[in-house]
Amino acid sequence: MNLDNSETIISTLNGQGLEVFEYPDGGMDEIAAPGFYYNWQTASIEHWSLPCDYNNVMRSHFSNKNGIIQDGFQSVLPFEDIMDLSDKIKNWNEHLIRYGVV
């Protein structure tokens, strides 16, 4: 999978029904809304959410100045194909829905 163009990765994932945002240039403290973010610097998809019972334990270690919590990430490097990555994120999203995170 070509990691050189974050717009292509984000566009392709969005075309698969996933809402993925570009990671802010200023870093994690600029994330103000929950959702999936593609962090090109670490080649990973991160999920950020509002505090809830599911992720409250992570608050002290993985939250930003806006109180949004990073409750997981998935490296894109093990995936040869964007469709495999898309399937993985869809499964992840179903898990988050099941636990009331999204």
Which uninterrupted H or E stretch holds 22?
Answer: strand 20-22
User: Of all helices (H) and strands (E), which one includes residue 21?
Assistant: strand 20-22
Q: Which two tokens stand for residue 45?
A: 């998809």
Q: What is the pTM of this model?
A: 0.89
> pLDDT tens, 18-63?
999 999 999 999 999 999 999 999 999 999 999 888 787 878 788 9
Write out pLDDT tens, residues 59-81.
Answer: 878 899 999 999 889 999 989 88
- Report the distance separating Cα 75 and Cα 97, nearest Å: 21
SS (H, E, C) 28-83: HHHCCCCEEEEECCCCEEEEEECCCCCCHHHHHHHECCCCCEEEEEEECCCCCCHH
